[in-house]
């Protein structure tokens, strides 16, 4: 093995430590950061995920309230619940857990979250800010993937980057974040004629598709960084296993740096959610302060 394996857990822990300090500073000013998680319907699928978020939040000094609503809750009721959370000054961030029941369109709910409380970075206004290179609250996985690249000794300006996958919440925001940092970005997807042609030219490759084994070592330029945001459950002779979108063994032979799955982008993503929670809290504090100031005249 040639590649250096990137320790996402360590990066996540470092971010959480920074978040904890910031959370304590905010709490001292009367703004204890608080996240509310909203699950609807069959919560078993997301339960492990929610519990992990709760644990991480607590270790980062962020209050976490997990709410679960029955599957038959209507869109109107959920929108009302979100409006209540939007208006509640004690709530600083709202997480909408997926999957949602079929009758609940996720984009409608994401739009119903106030942009200042959009810790998942899914509101169109949050994405718009990313495109305009004004990073407020970014989608967690995309921000985490880019943060990981930033820990490597690679100059961002002029870096050739290939992003495989053009999803709205991972691939595209990664592309815009990197472009803002001065990288030359190519976005590939299922209609791309030769992904390998583009990935082999790249100093850094991001993969966010949801297909195990999609990227192999021969698709990489020797020494390139490979950031794998895929999380796929597969069955192996040794039982079920979680793998990324890259064939780790062959990629690790060629890449200069590689993120493992699990233990790569995942832990940084949850830490980024906590970072967004304190960012959102600070933005709300400043927003209120600005409106107090206006009462002076």
Partner 1 sequence: MSATIIDGKAFAAKVRAQVTDHVARLKTDTGITPGLAVVLVGEDPASQVYVRSKGKQTVEVGMNSYEHKLDPQTSEADLLALIDKLNRDPAVHGILVQLPLPDHLNSDLVINAIDPAKDVDGFHISNVGLLGTGQKSMVPCTPLGCLMMLRDYHGSLSGMNAVVVGRSNIVGKPMAQLLLGDSCTVTIAHSRTKDLGAVCRGADILVAAVGRPKMIPGDWVKPGATVIDVGINRIQHPDNPEKTKLVGDVDFDSCAQVAGAITPVPGGVGPMTIACLLANTLTACCRANGLAEPEGLTA
What is 24-86 written as a DSSP string?
HHHHHTT---EEEEEEES--HHHHHHHHHHHHHHHHTT-EEEEEEE-TT--HHHHHHHHHHHH
34 binds partner 1 (CB under 8 A): no
- Does residue 150 touch partner 1 according to CB under 8 A? no
Angle at 89 between CA 86 and CA 93, to 5 degrees: 55
Binding track over 178-197 against partner 1, x by CB under 8 A: -x--xxxxxxxx-xxx----
Instruction: Round to whole Å and give the CA distance between 265 and 271.
Output: 10
Q: How far is it, in rounded angstroms, from Cα 195 to Cα 186? A: 10
Residue 175 near partner 1 by CB under 8 A: yes
Q: Does 223 bind partner 1 (CB under 8 A)?
A: no
Residue 177 binds to partner 1 (criterion: CB under 8 A): no
**Segment lying near partner 1 (by CB under 8 A), choices 96-104, 174-182, 230-238, 261-269:** 174-182
* 238 near partner 1, judged by CB under 8 A: no
Q: In Å, how far are 13, 20, 64, 140, 273 from 59, measured between CA atoms?
A: 9, 7, 11, 18, 13
Cis peptide before 99 (omega within 30 of 0): yes
Report how far apart, in Å, the C-alpha atoms of 128 and of each of 8, 138, 139 are: 28, 10, 11
Rank residues 20 and 283 by Cβ distance to partner 1 and give the closer one.
283
Chain residues 45-74 in contact with partner 1, contact rule CB under 8 A: none
Q: How far is the CB of 179 from partner 1 (least distance, A)?
A: 6
User: Does position 80 bind partner 1 by CB under 8 A?
Assistant: no
Residues 118-137 that bind partner 1 (CB under 8 A): 123-132
Total chain residues near partner 1 (CB under 8 A): 34
Site map 84..123 versus partner 1, x via CB under 8 A: -----------------------x---------------x
What CA–CA distance (Å, rounded) separates 137 from 247? 31
Q: CB of 139: closest distance to partner 1 in angstroms?
A: 10
The backbone torsions φ and ψ at residue 53, rounded to the nearest 5 degrees and listed phi first, read -60, -45
Of 146-154, 156-164, 236-244, 258-266, the segment contacting partner 1 by CB under 8 A is 156-164
Q: Could you tell me the smallest distance in angstroms from the CB atom of residue 181 to partner 1?
A: 9
């Amino acid at each position: 093995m040639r590649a250096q394996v990137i320790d996402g857990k360590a990066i996540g822990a470092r971010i959480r430590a920074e978040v904890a300090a910031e959370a304590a500073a905010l709490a001292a000013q009367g703004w204890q950061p608080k996240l509310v998680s909203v699950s609807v319907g069959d919560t078993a699928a997301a339960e492990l995920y929610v519990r992990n978020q709760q644990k991480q939040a607590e270790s980062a000094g962020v209050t976490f309230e997990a709410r679960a609503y029955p599957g038959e809750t209507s869109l109107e009721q959920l929108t009302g619940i979100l409006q209540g959370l939007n208006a509640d000054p004690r709530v600083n961030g709202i997480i909408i857990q997926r999957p949602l029941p079929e009758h609940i369109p996720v984009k409608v709910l994401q739009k119903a979250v106030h942009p200042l409380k959009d810790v998942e970075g899914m509101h169109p206004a949050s994405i718009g800010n990313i495109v305009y290179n004004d990073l407020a609250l970014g989608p967690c996985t995309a921000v985490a993937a880019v943060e990981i690249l930033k820990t490597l000794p690679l100059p961002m300006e002029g870096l050739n980057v290939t992003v495989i996958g053009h999803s709205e919440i991972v691939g595209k925001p990664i592309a815009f974040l990197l472009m803002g940092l001065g990288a030359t970005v190519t976005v590939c997807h299922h209609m791309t004629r030769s992904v390998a042609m583009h990935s082999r030219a790249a100093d850094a490759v991001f993969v966010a598709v949801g297909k195990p084994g999609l990227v192999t070592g021969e698709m990489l330029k020797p020494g390139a960084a490979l950031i794998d945001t895929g999380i796929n459950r597969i069955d192996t002779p040794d039982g079920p296993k979680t793998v990324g979108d890259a064939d780790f063994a062959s990629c690790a032979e060629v890449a200069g740096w590689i993120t493992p799955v699990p233990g790569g982008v995942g832990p940084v993503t949850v830490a980024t959610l906590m970072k967004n929670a304190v960012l959102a809290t600070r933005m709300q504090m400043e927003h209120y302060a600005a409106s107090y100031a206006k009462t002076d005249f």
